[in-house]
Structure formats: structure tokens, C-alpha cells
């Protein structure tokens, strides 16, 4: 009986996880992420710490749940040297910019967006709608 319960619980988790994954509308299959080097990322999260840290944390968490195998750069997880911000952007395929209060007055955010534009990186703009955060 215990074995049956364990199997049911595992099946429900598997089914729930597969339902939360992103699927292509054209095929119904999960997207195949391009292969990248171990020192690179599919997505770079650009944000200001003061008003965007919790939001990009949730964005990263949900994308990791919905896109198995995705590699996402987030400063608190991956930043080793702030002097290499431009290099981190260069080693990322896409840059997501969380537009929140103070983004365009942050020196480091301006470095990131300038590098992304100079390198021709695809940009995803996300606007913070909570007025308290900008």
C-alpha cells in the first residue's frame, strides 16, 4: 500500500512539473535550448538591486522550473567580479532588463544595457508595475 502511495505522489509531481514546462504552440513540445559553454548563459538578468532584486529572483525561479536546462545569470548567484559586467553580458545570449525605479541612474545597470546594445544582444524589457518599486 505504501508503495502505491509513493508511486501516486511521484506521478502527480511528474505530471505537475510537465504541465508547468513551456511548450511550443507549433509542436506541443518543450523548446530545445541552444547548447552553450559551461561559462555562458542563455539569459542575463539586468536590474537594480534596490527595486528589482526580488522580482528577478522570482523570474529566474519560474524560468528554471519551466525551461529545464536553462542557464540564467543573476548577480547574487553568478557575479564574481563587478569589473567584468560587460564580459558577463557578452557571454549571455539574451538580456532581460527589469525596468524599475532607479534603473537608469544605476552606473552598473547603464554598463549592462550599453554593453547589450553595443553587442547587439536581443533585449527583453519587463516593466515593474508596482508604483512603490518604480
Reduced to 3 states, what is the DSSP secondary structure of residue 131? Answer: helix
Express each pLDDT in 63-120 by its tens digit: 999 888 899 999 888 889 899 999 999 999 999 999 988 899 999 999 999 999 999 9
What is the number of other CB atoms lying within 10 angstroms of the CB of residue 49? Answer: 13
CB 70 within 8 A of CB 42: yes
CB 39 within 8 A of CB 88: no
CB 45 within 8 A of CB 72: yes
The proportion of the chain whose per-residue pLDDT surpasses 90, expressed as a percent, equals: 46
The Cα–Cα gap between 32 and 70 comes to 10
Amino acid at each position: 500500500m505504501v508503495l502505491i502511495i509513493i508511486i501516486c505522489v511521484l506521478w502527480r509531481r511528474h505530471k505537475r512539473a510537465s504541465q508547468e514546462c513551456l511548450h511550443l504552440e507549433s509542436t506541443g513540445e518543450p523548446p530545445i535550448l541552444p547548447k552553450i559553454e559551461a561559462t555562458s548563459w542563455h539569459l542575463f538578468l539586468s536590474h537594480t538591486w534596490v527595486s528589482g532584486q526580488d522580482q528577478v529572483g522570482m523570474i529566474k525561479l519560474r524560468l528554471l522550473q519551466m525551461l529545464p536546462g536553462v542557464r540564467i545569470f543573476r548577480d547574487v548567484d553568478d557575479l564574481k567580479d563587478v569589473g567584468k559586467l560587460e564580459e558577463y553580458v557578452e557571454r549571455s545570449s539574451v538580456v532581460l532588463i527589469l525596468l524599475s525605479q532607479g534603473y537608469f541612474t544605476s552606473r552598473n545597470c547603464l554598463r549592462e544595457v550599453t554593453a547589450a546594445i553595443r553587442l547587439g544582444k536581443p533585449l527583453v524589457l519587463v516593466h515593474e508595475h508596482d508604483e512603490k518599486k518604480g
